[in-house]
Amino acid sequence: MAIIIPKNKSVENFIGLHLYHTGFSNCSMRVRIALEEKGLPWTSHLIDLSKGENLTLDYIGINPNAVVPTLVDNGVVIIDSADIIDYLDKTYSPTSLRPQSETEQQQMYNWIYLARDNHLSIKTYMYGNTASLKKMKRTALQMANYRENQTFDAALLDFHERFNANDGFTQKELAAATAVINCCFDKINQRLKDHTWLAGDSFSLADIAWLPQLIILNVAHYPFDHYPHLEQWKNNIMQRPSFQKAILDWLPPTQK
Ligand SMILES: N[C@@H](CCC(=O)N[C@@H](CS)C(=O)NCC(=O)O)C(=O)O
């Protein structure tokens, strides 16, 4: 569980659930869906990544990776969307977002960790194929500050170094990222061929971990028609009230 002792002490006085998040961010979407599904009231702190609001010392003092989302629960800071949704589900009842049997719970964690482990491939695909993200190059000063202050996640630092230095990603890097993503969706397609949900018989954190990937990859024109069994699953989730509140209500007008 990624509980952080924040350098920015101001959040330790927060009462209730507070979420630092971004509208069009798959990791933020996960947490918003979990909050809405569980019917939990929360306070929003929007972070504009395009303005570098995640790179300020105040924010890095809360999330040392300089990424969204960050949850603050009565002063306790939790980072990483996989850990946050698990924390919310374990801490708050009565709605449970996990299957009952241990075997199916393990399946659920496998899907969540598959999403987490391949996050940088999805990020590479998005930064390589989305006009607005291609422009997200940082200034030399922003990069210098980032190197000095984001000392927590070496792979993420490397991602931003490569993106900035090379003016985007090479075709080879994009092809490698696409191959990883294809492999994940092959697995998901296979599972959904004869199951309604990713883990067990009901909607769970596994579905919450993966649905946002579809939302953002769709914007980058990822070819989902290769995976026909995802369609019904996606439609089932889009009909849940949480979809409007957690996804649509927060999308910037350009992405609706
Ligand atoms: N493993 C982290 C990844 C968080 C992440 O990369 N968030 C993205 C938005 S989805 C972000 O803040 N990107 C800004 C950056 O990398 O500078 C999580 O699941 O919370």
Question: Ligand 1: does its nearest atom lie under 6 Å from the Cβ of 213?
Answer: no
CA 37 / ligand 1 centre spacing (Å): 22
**pLDDT tens by residue, 71-86:** 999 999 999 999 999 9
Picking from 91, 116, 135, the residue at the C-terminal end of a domain is 91
Confidence of residue 256 (pLDDT cuts 50, 70, 90): low
Residues 6+ apart with CB under 8 A from 13: 75
User: CA 74 to CA 92: how far, in whole Å?
Assistant: 13
Q: Which atom of ligand 1 lies closest to the CA of 66?
A: 17
CATH number at residue 30: 3.40.30.10
End-to-end alpha-carbon separation of the chain, Å?
Answer: 33
Residues 6+ apart with CB under 8 A from 229: 188, 189, 190, 192, 193
Residues 6+ apart with CB under 8 A from 40: 17, 88, 92
Question: For residue 139, what are the domain limits?
Answer: 102-255
DSSP 194: S
Q: Which of 19, 68, 216 to mutate to test the pocket of ligand 1 (most atoms within 8 A of CB)?
A: 68
Question: Ligand 1: does its nearest atom lie under 6 Å from the Cβ of 67?
Answer: yes
**In a shared domain, residues 73 and 116:** no
**In a shared domain, residues 158 and 50:** no
Rounded to 5°, the CA angle 136-26-21 comes to: 75
| Residue 244 falls inside a structural domain | yes
Q: Which atom of ligand 1 lies closest to the CA of 49?
A: 14
Question: Ligand 1: does its nearest atom lie under 6 Å from the Cβ of 49?
Answer: yes
Q: Which of 45, 53, 67 to mutate to test the pocket of ligand 1 (most atoms within 8 A of CB)?
A: 67
| Residue 96 falls inside a structural domain | no
Picking from 52, 72, 91, the residue at the C-terminal end of a domain is 91
The total number of structural domains that make up the chain? 2
Residue of 216, 35, 48, 3 whose CA lies nearest to 127: 216
User: CA 92 to CA 31: how far, in whole Å?
Assistant: 13
| Residue 97 falls inside a structural domain | no
Q: Which residue has the tokens 């890095």?
A: 60
| Residue 107 falls inside a structural domain | yes
For the residues 231-249, what does the mean pLDDT come to? 97
**In a shared domain, residues 152 and 30:** no
Residue of 147, 123, 149, 154 whose CA lies nearest to 136: 123
Tell me the whole-structure pTM to 2 decimals: 0.97
**In a shared domain, residues 82 and 130:** no
Confidence of residue 199 (pLDDT cuts 50, 70, 90): very high
**pLDDT tens by residue, 217-237:** 999 999 999 999 999 999 999
Q: Residue 27 CB: number of other CB atoms within 10 A?
A: 25
**In a shared domain, residues 85 and 183:** no
Say whether 78 sits in a helix, a strand or coil. Answer: strand
Confidence of residue 254 (pLDDT cuts 50, 70, 90): confident
Q: In the chain, pLDDT over 90 holds for what percent of residues?
A: 92
CATH number at residue 206: 1.20.1050.10
